[in-house]
Amino acid sequence: MPEGSAESPNIDALRERWLAQLAAVRTEAELKTLADEFLGRKSGAVTALMKTLGGLPPEARPAMGARINALKQEIESSRDSKREALQASRPPAGAVDVTLPGRALPLGRIHPLMRVRQEVEDIFTRMGYEILEGPEVEDDFHNFEALNMPPDHPARDMQDTLYLATPIIGGIWGAHRAPLGAGSVPEAQVRAATLLRTHTSAMQIRYMKTFRPPVRIIVPGRVYRRDNLDLSHTPMFQQFEGLVVGKGITLADLKGTFEAMLRDLFGDVKVRLRPSFFPYTEPSAEVDISCRSCGGSGCSTCKQTGWLEILGSGMVHPAVFEAVGYDPEEVTGFAFGLGMERVAMLKYGVDDIRLFYENDLRFLNQFPAI
């Protein structure tokens, strides 16, 4: 009896093993391999068990033999039904192998800077802004002088300018607004362009000289500076100009607008205004968001300050209003410039600005298709 009680668990264990492995079988080849493992004439597990009968006391042999035979039959019959099931699931004649790859209709990627651009355009469209483009080549008046930067103004050093060797005609803008009525026809290019605009702010002037307040516009576009290529500078980059002018517009409106926009762009961030200087705004403010890497406690990304500079802004300088024929006693306004590269770098964790201009497909393809 002690031996018999030792044999029974063997049979049960073998059965369990069979059932477990059978359940995992996916192909007829696998089934045959498994069946051989149990029933094979030479090394099958059941065959081996059968061979142990000879070592049992004669009186125990019949019962044990019967039990082993029962197991063997059970295995054979479950093998047969599994085989039938596998055969039944064979694909019909002419069936396609659905697991082969399809013919590729490749999807390209929108450039990350343009993703950012479209996102920002959408945010401001929702806030009731007009979105329009302006020329990339400009004249001194629109790029500097009307923005309170007369010739020889020291602030011009902040924006090292690229000049054209020969003046050309700048790009058209606002053509779609012409049918709106008298007085709304955009100013023609009265001056030939002599430089590459250093900021999209030039369009503030063109727009205000053409249209009366209220103004609420976003101007996305490329701008150029005489900067060397390095980790954080490119001689050409992309900006958004924002301009809001009307009765009773205040710095508080600027702040609320930025908080709404920056939360749409970056999620739940804190927004901080810091006094700064731009000739065409007064007061002027740099706008920071709380560092997303460290949450504001200080890290290498934010140089331990907890804040990341994201845009420059301010209340439109009265001299700018005077240059375009608006009355600064009647209207006030705010303006801002936001760098698309800066947003994209922070948003997507890009640490080298040059990646945006190499157009390496291994970089571009990392961005979602839509």
Partner 1 sequence: MRVPLSWLREFVDVPGSADEIAATMSVRGFAVEGIEPLGELDAVIDFEVTANRPDCLSIVGIAREVATAYSLQVRRPAVRTAATREPARSDTRSASPADPAAPAAVEEPPAPDASLSAPGLHLVSLKTVEKADVDVVIENAELCPRYAGAVVDVKVGDSPAWLQSRLRAAGVRPISNIVDVTNYVLLELGQPMHAFDLARITGGQIRVRTARSGETIRTLDGQQRSLDPAMLVIADAERPVAVAGVMGGADSEVTRETGTIVLESACFNALSVRRTSKRLGLKTEASMRFERGADPRLPVTAMERACALLEHIGAGQARGTVVDRYPTRVEPRTLRLRRGRISGLLGVDVPDTAVRRILEGLGFALRDAADGWDVTVPTRRVDVVREVDLIEEVARHHGFDRIAPRFPALVAAAPLIDPRIVQARALRGVMTGAGFSEAVTFGFIPSASASPFAADDDVVPIENPLSESFAVLRPSILPGLIDAVAHNRRREQLDVRLFEIGARFSRSGGERRAIAMAWTGAAPAEHWSGASRQVDFFDMKGLVERVCEALALQATTASDARGWLVSGCGASLAVNDTRIGVLGQLLPGIAERHGLQGDDTVFLAEIDLDAADSVSNRSGFRVEPLPRYPSVTRDISIVVDASLPAGVLRRTIREAAPPALTRVYEFDRYQGKGIPEDKVSLSFRMVFRAPDRTLTDAEVQQAMESVMAALRSRHDAAQR
Q: Which of residues 258-277 bind partner 1 (CB under 8 A)?
A: 259-260, 272-277
Binding piece for partner 1, criterion CB under 8 A, among 7-15, 25-33, 71-79, 124-132? 124-132
Reduce the DSSP state of residue 218 to 3 states and report it: strand
Q: Closest Cα partner for 366 from 350, 342, 351?
A: 350
Q: Could you say whether residue 222 binds partner 1 (CB under 8 A)?
A: yes
User: Smallest gap, in angstroms, from Cβ of residue 97 to partner 1?
Assistant: 10
Closest CB to partner 1 among residues 49, 134: 134
For residue 193, is it left (φ>0), alpha (ψ between -120 and 50) or beta?
beta
Place of tokens 């298709």: 369
Residue 110 binds to partner 1 (criterion: CB under 8 A): yes
Q: How far is CA 287 from CA 272, 276, 332, in A?
A: 6, 9, 20
Q: x/- site string to partner 1, residues 173 to 192, per CB under 8 A?
A: -x-xx--x------------
What lies within 8 Å, CB to CB, of 185 at 6+ separation is 178, 210
Among 50, 86, 246, 264, interactor with partner 1 by CB under 8 A: 246
Burial 117-126 (b: 16+ CB within 10 A, else e): bebbbebbee
Q: Contact between 128 and partner 1 (CB under 8 A)?
A: yes
- Beta carbon nearer to partner 1, 6 or 107: 107
| 234 interacts with partner 1 by CB under 8 A | yes
| Given 20, 98, 105, 188, the residue binding partner 1 (CB under 8 A) | 105
Q: At its nearest, how many Å lie between partner 1 and the CB of residue 233?
A: 11
243 binds partner 1 (CB under 8 A): no
Is 358 among the residues that bind partner 1 (CB under 8 A)? yes
Of 83 and 263, which has the nearer Cβ to partner 1? 263
DSSP designation for 230: B
Q: How far is the CB of 251 from partner 1 (least distance, A)?
A: 5
Helix (H) / strand (E) containing 189: none
Interatomic CA distance for residues 89 and 183, integer angstroms: 77
For partner 1, the binding residue among 101, 179, 325, 368 (CB under 8 A) is 101
Q: Out of 72, 109, 209, 347, point to the residue binding partner 1 (CB under 8 A).
A: 109
256 binds partner 1 (CB under 8 A): yes
At its nearest, how many Å lie between partner 1 and the CB of residue 344?
Answer: 11
Single out the residue of 11, 60, 294, 364 in contact with partner 1 (rule: CB under 8 A). 364
- The rounded distance, in Å, linking the Cα atoms of 177 and 201 is 20
The site that binds partner 1 (CB under 8 A) totals a number of residues, namely 98
> Who contacts 308 (Cβ-Cβ below 8 Å, separation ≥6)?
288, 289, 290, 291, 292, 301, 302, 346
CB 71 within 8 A of CB 14: yes
Which of positions 282-341 make contact with partner 1 (CB under 8 A)? 282-286, 305, 315, 317-318, 332
Cβ atoms within 10 A of the Cβ of 329, count?
8
147 binds partner 1 (CB under 8 A): no
Q: Which two tokens stand for residue 337?
A: 């410039």
> Which of 8, 33, 52, 125 forms a contact with partner 1 (CB under 8 A)?
125
Query: Hey, CA dihedral for 351, 262, 117, 106, is it positive or negative?
Result: positive
Task: Verify binding: residue 164, partner 1, rule CB under 8 A.
Answer: yes
Applying CB under 8 A, does 365 fall inside the site for partner 1?
Answer: yes
